[in-house]
């Protein structure tokens, strides 16, 4: 039986670091669904498409080919660059993420990738919509301040020039957009285990989830 681990939570909750480390520890695949929304956000932004033009979006999505190969994404045959990681692309990702056709397109792709795999899938709606029957469901949170601090550190370490206030405002805006949208809003699945990571280290959170996995898979 496959073991699919869904990790959902708001921007900067530590999902990405937790999911990556957990996947490594378990020898599982790791799927970053936020990266997929970022890929689509950047792609449609570069085509100057408005999020209200649903027909145009649908047409453009037909020309887009996102492949998941050995843990990496290829977009129309090309490796994805760090360009998708900027706060600006995060805002576009979040904006286009409320478009039904975009969600349908990416949800189907995410289900296909996770089917029958031992995989850690990270996002906003994995336990509620994408894989509601996941063997393990985690909802990871932390305060907005703590999340902004982590994001700031992560981007600065990667050499991306950012300002703390911008990061905090981006987190506040994205929380609002992600939790208030009509389809697949960010929310805890009824049967998900909630972990507030504000006071815990990355390793501690990974160990907590690892124990749950050992029990359930």
Establish if 151 lies at the interface with ligand C5P (CB under 6 A). Answer: no
Closer residue to ligand C5P (CB): 183 or 193: 183
Establish if 140 lies at the interface with ligand C5P (CB under 6 A). Answer: no
Closer residue to ligand C5P (CB): 28 or 151: 151
Establish if 127 lies at the interface with ligand C5P (CB under 6 A). Answer: no
Token pair of 140 as six digits: 């990871």
Token pair of 3 as six digits: 């073991």
Establish if 150 lies at the interface with ligand C5P (CB under 6 A). Answer: no
State the greatest distance between any 2 C-alpha atoms of the chain, in Å, as a whole number: 48
**Shortest approach of ligand C5P to residue 136 CB, angstroms?**
16
Token pair of 195 as six digits: 């972990």
Token pair of 102 as six digits: 């975009």
Annotate 67-83 with DSSP letters as a single string. Answer: EEETTEEEETTEE--GG
- Interacting residues with ligand C5P between 40 and 79 (CB under 6 A): none
Contact yes or no for 137/214 (Cβ under 8 A): no
Q: Is 27 annotated as a binding residue?
A: no
**Shortest approach of ligand C5P to residue 72 CB, angstroms?**
16
Establish if 90 lies at the interface with ligand C5P (CB under 6 A). Answer: yes
Listed in order, strand segments (DSSP E) in the chain are 4-8, 29-32, 66-69, 72-75, 78-79, 119-123, 136-141, 193-196
Task: Count CA atoms closer than 13 A to 55's CA, side-chain side.
Answer: 0
Establish if 9 lies at the interface with ligand C5P (CB under 6 A). Answer: no
Establish if 4 lies at the interface with ligand C5P (CB under 6 A). Answer: no
Label each residue of 80-131 as H, E or C: CCHHHHCHHHHHHHHHHCCCHHHHHHHHHHHHHHHCCCCEEEEECCHHHHHC
Torsion of CA 174, 45, 182, 74, to 10 degrees: -90
Q: How many residues bind to ligand C5P according to rule CB under 6 A? A: 14
Closer residue to ligand C5P (CB): 125 or 167: 125
Which of these ranges, 66-74, 117-125, 138-146, 200-208, lies near ligand C5P under the rule CB under 6 A?
Answer: 117-125
Q: Which of 124, 137, 147, 150 binds ligand C5P (CB under 6 A)?
A: 124
- Interacting residues with ligand C5P between 159 and 178 (CB under 6 A): 174, 178
- Give the annotated binding-site residues: 9-17
Where on the chain is the footprint of ligand C5P (CB under 6 A)?
A: 11, 33-34, 37-38, 90, 93-94, 97, 123-125, 174, 178
């Amino acid at each position: 039986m496959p073991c699919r681990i869904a990790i959902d939570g708001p921007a900067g909750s530590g999902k990405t670091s937790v999911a990556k480390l957990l996947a490594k520890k378990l020898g599982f695949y790791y799927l970053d669904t936020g990266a997929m929304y970022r890929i689509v956000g950047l792609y449609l932004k570069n085509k100057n498409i408005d999020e209200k033009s649903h027909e145009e979006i649908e047409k453009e999505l037909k020309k887009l080919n996102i492949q998941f190969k050995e843990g990496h994404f290829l977009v129309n045959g090309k490796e994805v660059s760090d360009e998708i990681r900027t706060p600006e692309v995060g805002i576009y990702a979040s904006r286009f993420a409320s478009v039904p056709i975009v969600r349908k397109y990416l949800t189907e792709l995410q289900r296909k990738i996770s089917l029958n795999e031992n995989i850690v899938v990270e996002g906003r709606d994995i336990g509620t919509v994408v894989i509601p029957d996941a063997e393990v469901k985690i909802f990871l949170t932390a305060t907005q301040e703590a999340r902004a601090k982590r994001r700031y550190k992560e981007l600065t370490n990667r050499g991306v020039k950012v300002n703390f206030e911008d990061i905090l405002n981006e987190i506040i805006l994205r929380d609002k957009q992600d939790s208030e949208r009509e389809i697949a809003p960010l929310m805890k699945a009824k049967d998900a285990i909630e972990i507030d990571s504000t006071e815990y280290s990355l390793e501690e959170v990974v160990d907590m989830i690892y124990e749950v996995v050992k029990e359930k898979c």
